[in-house]
Amino acid sequence: MMRILSLEVAQQTILRRTPFEEVAPPPHMAERIRRTFGEELTPSQLVDRILRDIREQGDTALRDYARRIDGFVPEPLEVTAAEMDAAWEALDQKVRQALELAAGRIRDFHQKQPVTSWLSAQPHETLGQLVRPLDRVGLYVPGGTAPLPSSLLMSAIPAVVAGVAEIIVATPPQQGTGAAISPVILAAARVAGVRRVFKMGGAQAIAALAFGTERVPRVDKIAGPGGLFPVLAMRKLFGVVGIAGLPGPTETMVIADESANPAICAADLLAQAEHDELASAILLTPSEKLARQVQAEIDTQMTRLERRSIIAVALERNSGIVLVDDISQALTVANQYAPEHLCLLTRDPWSLLGQVRHAGGVFLGEQVGEALGDYVLGPSHVMPTRAVARFGSPLNVLDFVKLVSVFSADAETVQAITPAAIVLAEAECLTGHAAALRIRLSKDA
């Protein structure tokens, strides 16, 4: 049963943010670590070991971790063109059409993003910036317990729109299939325009992309959502490689008043809780009646869902229904929490939008469910989690380009502004800078 909490209790429990390094894995995960590695290791300690081994041993360590963690070594490591073609041909026509529709809408949305080079040519100077796509990016696509072709589309298409020359996808083989990548993920790669997919997951995949191995190309930047271990690896590798955010276990926050449909509220919370045992699903409402109704709906709907064992853990660990005084207080709490997904299921959601300051994405009204945004609305569903929305953005085209500044000025402008630059250089005690400026003022220069 989903708990109903006062705001005071919630602020001490489910609304508190625990640093990634301190997140305690579920008991079965901790036991698996102990059994696999023969000792008690925190997730952070295990990731440190994996990063060190991949950096020092490359493919040898990659094979070893595949054998120890997954129970098999996928060979070949890289998906062949024949495998991708076969996956596409074997796919149900309805799934193909759905992938193509989603890809088209995602592409249309990101093509509207204003990402252009510009030069401002004045009579005496030209300044500007060049927009250049990254050479090679790595995309992590979860796929062990459930294939997520939508995450591939949502990560790859912004990179394709940006003009990235080479896109490398890392995704784990689906559990129970031996070394096979889910055909629907391979089909999504084809629709998105991705040609290189590697059968690897977890922190070891992130390390291989960051450092490069004999078989895995080193990338310039890594993007995509992940569970605890991939996100810990991304956090630790920032600076070794570019990291486009840290989108970890999913989270959703629903704000609802007494007009909300309890069945819809419950369905939205369950939809995100089924992703991961570390997922978070929170309802804020001033209506105790709605809270009770949603609680009952969750119990009813959960029995019909295949991943109810995962949902049960997520609801117990990280989720709850929080009673607030009013919708204004709910928005204050939401801005403090800065959720990945914020759903406004109220009488007039548009009147509240201006008060939203921190959220990865805002879903307005009952007709536009969060799950629809996960697949076909258009904006990328790879969004900031764990309060990163206070300063971070959803994955977008800008994550896959860099800016190069352009400087040019004629002699008259140089003569006019250089004295001020000399003053500033001397104020900083950088005499070499001052000398380099003065030499351009010399008539003999």
Residues 294 and 415 in one domain: no
Strand intervals (E) in 155-297: 166-171, 196-199, 221-223, 242-243, 251-256, 280-285
pLDDT recorded at residue 442: 74
Q: What percent of the chain has pLDDT over 70?
A: 98
Question: Is 75 part of any domain?
Answer: no
Which whole number is the average pLDDT over 27-53? 91
Question: Is 65 part of any domain?
Answer: no
Residues 86 and 228 in one domain: yes
Question: Is 140 part of any domain?
Answer: yes
Question: Is 24 part of any domain?
Answer: no
CATH number at residue 294: 3.40.50.1980
3-state SS string for 109-168: HHHCCCCCCEEEECCCEEEEEEEEECCEEEEECCCCCCCCHHHHHHHHHHHHHHCCCEEE
Q: Are 277 and 395 in contact (CB under 8 A)?
A: no
Which whole number is the average pLDDT over 272-280? 92
Q: For the segment 389-435, what is each residue's pLDDT rounded down to a tens digit?
A: 999 999 999 999 999 999 999 999 999 999 999 999 999 999 999 99
pLDDT recorded at residue 146: 77
Question: Is 282 part of any domain?
Answer: yes
Residues 163 and 260 in one domain: no
pTM: 0.91
322: enclosing H helix or E strand? strand 320-323
Number of domains in the chain: 3
Two tokens, residue 337: 């929490």
Residues 254 and 229 in one domain: no
Angle at 320 between CA 317 and CA 321, to 5 degrees: 175
Q: Given the structure tokens 């995100």, which residue do they identify?
A: 272
Question: Is 59 part of any domain?
Answer: no
Residues 174 and 299 in one domain: no
CA gap 88, 95 in Å, rounded: 10
Structural domain range at position 365: 4-17+249-390
- Per the prediction, the chain carries an average pLDDT of 94
Question: Is 38 part of any domain?
Answer: no
Q: For the segment 248-264, what is each residue's pLDDT rounded down to a tens digit?
A: 889 999 999 999 999 99
Question: Is 67 part of any domain?
Answer: no
Greater pLDDT, 32 or 293: 293
Residues 156 and 272 in one domain: no
| Residues acting as catalytic residues | 340-341
Residues 320 and 422 in one domain: no
Which whole number is the average pLDDT over 205-226? 96
270: enclosing H helix or E strand? helix 262-273
Give the ranges where 286-339 is alpha helix by DSSP (H). 288-302, 308-318, 327-337
Picking from 213, 245, 277, the residue at the C-terminal end of a domain is 245
pLDDT recorded at residue 30: 87
Residues 102 and 141 in one domain: yes
Residues 237 and 269 in one domain: no
pLDDT recorded at residue 176: 60
